């Protein structure tokens, strides 16, 4: 069908994802190919010891992002976006948004980036026999109870960012099962929160004087393809104040950025996996069997259809690369050189290929926040070298790119070496992989497995959410696996990088130094 006709007749699907540094909307056609997009840049703030975004910023970002999507549609196709066949919301997973019975936010949004729930995380992991990381919503709830925070007695419901936006747009307090799996453990045999673990949680909290049942305050769990409500009149106005966008559009279940990343890379079947590398980096491996024991470094979450997934999540990835790129851009402008930031980043990636395979002895820690995989509760970006290190541009930039993957490599070795987890396909997506072949080569060599990047990798999570929305219109006809395999990725263009022996050996030497120097990073946190 003609693209303009697709848009005007609503033969499309829309995904909106609220990421850590960017809110992005992607509109796709009924053939699953991207038609238009819009985005809004934003950044979290550290306020009163917590990483947060204000709800005003959330609403401003949605309006800005959607306005830019409409403008892109108008420019490309000469028509106004007034409807779509289906849509869905995704966002950075985990965190804590607590509301009272009137819908009032009780305490500022606490994002996944916070590492302030160590006591709760440790206690829940021990009590439930299941790893409950610090960033999970359950940890935030229990920590607030342990802290004796006044707002706890007023809680009517708790949700995540994706759950909040979905609720505001549809009036339905529910999330997709992948998003739910970052709130509380899931029982994949029934595709719902684990009942016995909920009972154990309720017993713990009752002893601390918390009078509510966990199930009563968490969003309902939905599986990909299930009806998750429709866009209300108020919801339509929250996206488009002009009133041109119509209410009544069906919604797919809201998902987290992990679930949309799996979808966007066709990585929801057993022995498949993907790496999402942006502000944070996480790897998702769909398992054939349960792990032999609990690992504090590994989350157990699910695909959007409820299959168990081992997730290694690292809080830090590209933030330090972005910071150095911005510094170099400022330096270039100070010299009177008019160059774009994009060109600066291209140069950083390209020049890194000229560096030594082990970065010439340079070391960098990209820790803007704490890093649970390496035992850091806070972060201090840190660059180190010895007097005899080879300090040049190639080695410096390669160090930044290696550093972005170092913590992930440490976590994934637990799966590959200790649990003998096997993967047939590993896909990369996110900003780290935008420059062709470079981040891909470093990842493949570090992990010892081929890494593929699809042509649509740059669209990332919002594209995955748009696919889930499109699938919701076809879920009666086929499974999500079948939809992705046959209708979306059957002829998808992708580039695969094989592990490179020299790079792999060099990364190994870099990682050895990196691990030795972690005490310096810990001391920096202590002293600065």
CATH assignment at residue 388: 3.30.420.40
Structure tokens at 254: 């809201």
Map residue 381 onto helix, strand or coil.
coil
The residues that bridge with 490 in the sheet, in sequence order, are none
Map residue 24 onto helix, strand or coil.
strand
Contact call for residues 252 and 86 (beta carbons, < 8 A): yes
Contacting residues for 115 by C-beta, under 8 A, at least 6 apart:
134, 135, 315, 369, 370, 372, 376, 377, 378
Over range 413-430, report the average pLDDT: 89
pLDDT band at 435 (very low <50, low <70, confident <90, very high): confident
CA distance 93 to 309: 15
Q: What percent of the chain has pLDDT over 70?
A: 99
Residue 303 belongs to some domain of the structure: no
* pLDDT tens readout for residues 317-351: 999 999 999 999 999 999 999 999 999 999 999 99
Residue 393 belongs to some domain of the structure: yes
Residue 174 belongs to some domain of the structure: no
Residue 275 belongs to some domain of the structure: no
Provide DSSP, 262-321: HHHTT--STTEEEEEESSSEEEEEE-SS--SS--TT-EEEE-TT--EEEEEEES-SSHHH
* pLDDT tens readout for residues 272-281: 999 989 888 9
Please list the alpha-helical segments (H only) found in 39-187.
Answer: 55-77, 118-128, 137-147, 161-170, 177-180
Residue 456 confidence (pLDDT)? 67
Residue 378 belongs to some domain of the structure: yes
Residue 194 confidence (pLDDT)? 97
CA distance 482 to 495: 23
Residue 353 belongs to some domain of the structure: yes
Residue 520 belongs to some domain of the structure: yes
Provide the domain limits for residue 516. Answer: 319-455+495-527
Provide DSSP, 173-239: -EEEHHHHTTTS-EETTTTEE-HHHHHHHHHHHHHTT--S-HHHHSPEEE-TTS---B--HHHHHHH
Q: Is 408 exposed, middle or buried (0-12, 13-18, 19+ CB in 10 A)?
A: buried
Over range 504-511, report the average pLDDT: 98
- Comparing CA positions, the residue from 447, 398, 442 lying closest to residue 423 is 447
- State pTM to two decimals: 0.83
* pLDDT tens readout for residues 217-228: 999 999 999 999
Residue 1 per-residue DSSP state: -
Residue 431 confidence (pLDDT)? 86
Map residue 451 onto helix, strand or coil.
strand
Contact call for residues 453 and 435 (beta carbons, < 8 A): no
Based on the structure, what is the number of domains in the chain?
1
Residue 457 confidence (pLDDT)? 61
- How remote is the C-alpha of 511 from its chain's centroid? 24
Residue 58 per-residue DSSP state: H
Residue 416 belongs to some domain of the structure: yes
């Amino acid at each position: 069908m003609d693209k303009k006709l697709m848009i005007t007749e609503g033969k499309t699907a829309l995904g909106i994802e609220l990421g850590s540094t960017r809110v992005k909307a992607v509109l796709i056609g009924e053939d699953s190919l991207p038609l238009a997009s819009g985005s809004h840049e934003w950044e979290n703030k550290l306020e009163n010891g917590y990483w947060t975004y204000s709800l005003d910023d959330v609403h401003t970002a949605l309006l800005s992002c959607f306005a830019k999507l409409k403008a892109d549609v108008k420019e490309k196709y000469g028509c106004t976006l007034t409807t779509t066949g289906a849509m869905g919301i995704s966002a950075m997973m985990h965190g804590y948004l607590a509301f009272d019975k009137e819908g009032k936010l009780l305490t500022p949004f606490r994002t996944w980036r916070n590492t302030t729930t160590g006591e709760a995380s440790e206690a829940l992991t021990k009590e439930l026999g299941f790893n409950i990381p610090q960033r999970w919503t359950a940890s935030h709830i229990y920590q607030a109870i342990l802290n004796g925070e006044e707002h706890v007695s007023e809680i009517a419901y708790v949700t995540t960012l994706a759950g909040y936006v979905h609720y505001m747009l549809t009036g339905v307090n529910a999330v997709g099962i992948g998003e739910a799996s970052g709130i509380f453990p899931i029982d994949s045999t029934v595709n719902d929160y684990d009942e016995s673990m909920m009972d154990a949680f309720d017993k713990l909290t009752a002893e601390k004087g918390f009078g509510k049942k966990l199930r009563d305050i968490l969003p309902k769990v939905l599986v990909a393809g299930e009806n998750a409500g429709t866009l209300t009149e108020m919801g339509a106005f929250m996206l488009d104040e002009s009133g041109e966008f119509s209410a009544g559009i069906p919604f797919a279940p809201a998902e987290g950025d992990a679930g949309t990343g799996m979808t966007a890379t066709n990585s929801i079947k057993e022995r498949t996996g993907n790496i999402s590398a942006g502000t944070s980096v996480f790897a998702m491996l769909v398992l054939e069997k349960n792990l032999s024991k609990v690992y504090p470094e590994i989350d157990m979450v699910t695909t959007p259809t409820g299959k168990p997934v081992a997730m290694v999540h690292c809080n830090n990835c590209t933030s330090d690369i972005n910071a150095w790129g911005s510094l170099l851009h400022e330096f270039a402008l100070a010299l009177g050189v008019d160059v774009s930031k994009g060109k600066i980043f291209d140069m950083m990636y390209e020049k890194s290929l000229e560096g030594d395979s082990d970065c010439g002895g340079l070391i960098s820690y990209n820790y803007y926040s704490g890093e649970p995989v390496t035992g850091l509760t806070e972060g201090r970006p840190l660059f180190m070298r010895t007097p005899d290190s080879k300090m040049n541009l190639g080695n410096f930039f390669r160090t930044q790119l290696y550093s972005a993957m170092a913590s992930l490599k440490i976590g994934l070795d637990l799966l590959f070496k200790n649990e003998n987890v096997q993967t047939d396909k590993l896909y990369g997506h996110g900003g780290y992989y935008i420059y062709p072949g470079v981040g891909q080569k470093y990842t493949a060599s570090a992990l010892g497995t081929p890494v593929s990047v699809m042509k649509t990798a740059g669209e990332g999570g919002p594209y995955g959410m748009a696919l889930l929305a499109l699938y919701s219109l076809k879920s009666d006809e086929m499974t999500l696996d079948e939809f992705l395999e046959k209708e979306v990725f059957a002829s998808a263009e992708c580039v695969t990088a094989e592990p490179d022996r020299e790079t792999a050996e060099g990364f190994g030497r870099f990682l050895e130094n990196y691990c030795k120097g972690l005490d310096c990073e810990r001391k920096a946190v202590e002293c600065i």
